[in-house]
């Protein structure tokens, strides 16, 4: 990585503004998955040890957009679910020390709290997206945020693909702008996978839409990934493009031609593209009582595919045998609904087994990460990426604004 990190600069006694990505699932005030919070701990702890004054800032959801939708539909709007206060409390427990919470979305409201900080203290600002200037990358708002900082640290890889006030704009007004330790780790793992992978290199892509993954697929094919495994609803677009009946399974009809083009490019590049051979389906007229696993070619017009089958899971596992680099993004089915999480869990187990045999594995995307955590395999994966869209854009070879804005070494 050619960017300076927090370890390259002197931060003792300085106000260090750390942009973290604490956009985590919260239900009834309880954090359901703290992977991203835990991922930021090394940077925060390092800043504490160095005697910095730490100001943490993050977004959570899209409160202003949701508020507008609620107003248009004349529906109730609960602003409290977008507060970072539960996260500040959780972080305090993880650090074993108080995290002071500033409940104002206005940086000026935090100025007095920040000015009174002692070395090693931590303050967390309220949800940045409660201020309209954040997502607009408003210059005035960026200046306000910069006014709280002597040093800016971006440790929010998951938000690095956004050119927002706290990820890009702020760097124009803080001379020292560097990467955090999580950001460094993410970039090092992904860069190696993309630019210098140990082979065989296998990529697994899932999720609902082919359109979301086209740049990544094309990038992986152009870099000659050895095998490309495609599962999830996006596989049905490939099947329909080849004239195979997929029933009422989710398909992007406008992507049929593109799917054929991708298959042709893969074949020409010597990339083995592997699609499911069987799947779990339900009858659209009786979804609760009709679940069964059938070969793809047995699908009739009334069936809906919701997960890969056991045969496909075995084929995908076999495809990982001997792999030295594995990148996985996206679930194999409707992961959020049991038992249609079985295919995704099976892939998580196969990736962890391949890792134990010597592969470097990188898992990114919410459901993929959840599957790894749910199966208790998080410590058996080389790197669990905290990025969703950022991971995809990086793998597609695109420049991330939040990274480009940082100081070069």
Residues classed as catalytic: 36, 209, 366, 389
CA-to-CA dists, residue 185 to 114, 181, 328, angstroms = 29, 6, 17
Distance CA 66, CA 80 (A): 13
6-38 burial, b at 16+ Cβ within 10 Å, e below that, comes to: beebebeebbbbbbbbbbbebeeeebeebbbbe
Q: Which residues 6+ apart lie within 8 Å of 80 measured at CB? A: none
Instruction: State whether the Cα torsion 329-335-340-346 is positive or negative.
Output: positive
Q: Which residues pair with 152 in a beta bridge?
A: 17, 177
Cis omega (within 30 of 0) for bond into 17 = no
Distance CA 55, CA 394 (A): 27
349 CB-contact burial (10 Å; exposed 0-12 / middle 13-18 / buried 19+): middle
CA 65 to chain CA mean position, Å:
21
């Amino acid at each position: 990585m050619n960017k300076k990190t927090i370890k390259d600069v002197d931060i003792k006694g300085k106000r260090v503004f750390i942009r973290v990505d604490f956009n985590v699932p919260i239900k009834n005030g309880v954090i359901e998955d703290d992977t991203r919070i835990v991922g930021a701990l090394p940077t925060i702890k390092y800043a504490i040890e160095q005697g910095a004054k730490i100001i943490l800032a993050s977004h959570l959801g899209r409160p202003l957009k949701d508020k507008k939708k609620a107003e248009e539909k004349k529906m109730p709007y609960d602003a409290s679910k977008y507060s970072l206060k539960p996260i500040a409390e959780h972080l305090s427990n993880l650090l074993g020390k108080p995290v002071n919470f500033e409940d104002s979305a206005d940086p000026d409201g935090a100025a007095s709290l920040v000015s009174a900080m002692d070395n090693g203290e931590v303050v967390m600002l309220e949800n940045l997206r409660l201020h309209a200037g954040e997502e607009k990358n408003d210059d005035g708002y960026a200046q306000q945020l910069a006014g709280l900082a002597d040093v800016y640290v971006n440790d929010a890889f998951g938000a690095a693909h956004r050119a927002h006030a706290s990820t890009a704009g702020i760097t124009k007004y803080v001379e020292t702008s560097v990467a955090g330790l999580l950001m460094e780790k993410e970039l090092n793992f992904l860069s190696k996978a993309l630019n210098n992978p140990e082979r065989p290199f296998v990529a697994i892509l899932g999720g609902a839409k082919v359109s979301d993954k086209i740049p990544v697929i094309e990038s992986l094919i152009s870099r000659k990934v050895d095998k490309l495994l495609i599962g999830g609803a996006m596989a049905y677009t490939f099947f329909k493009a080849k004239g195979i009946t997929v029933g009422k399974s989710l398909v992007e009809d406008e992507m049929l031609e593109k799917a054929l083009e991708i298959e042709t490019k893969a074949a020409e590049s010597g990339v083995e593209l592997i699609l499911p051979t069987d799947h779990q389906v339900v009858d659209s007229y009786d979804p609760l009582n009709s679940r069964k696993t059938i070969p793809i070619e047995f699908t009739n017009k009334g069936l809906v595919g919701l997960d890969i089958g056991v045969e496909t899971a075995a084929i995908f596992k076999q495809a990982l045998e001997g792999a030295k680099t594995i990148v996985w993004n996206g679930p194999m089915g409707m992961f959020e609904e049991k038992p249609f999480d079985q295919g995704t869990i099976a892939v998580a187990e196969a990736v962890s087994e391949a890792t134990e045999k010597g592969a470097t594995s990188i898992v990114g995307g919410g459901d993929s990460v959840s599957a790894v955590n749910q199966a208790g395999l998080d410590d058996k994966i080389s790197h669990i990426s905290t990025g969703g869209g950022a991971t995809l854009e990086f793998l597609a070879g695109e420049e991330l604004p939040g990274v480009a804005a940082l100081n070069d070494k």
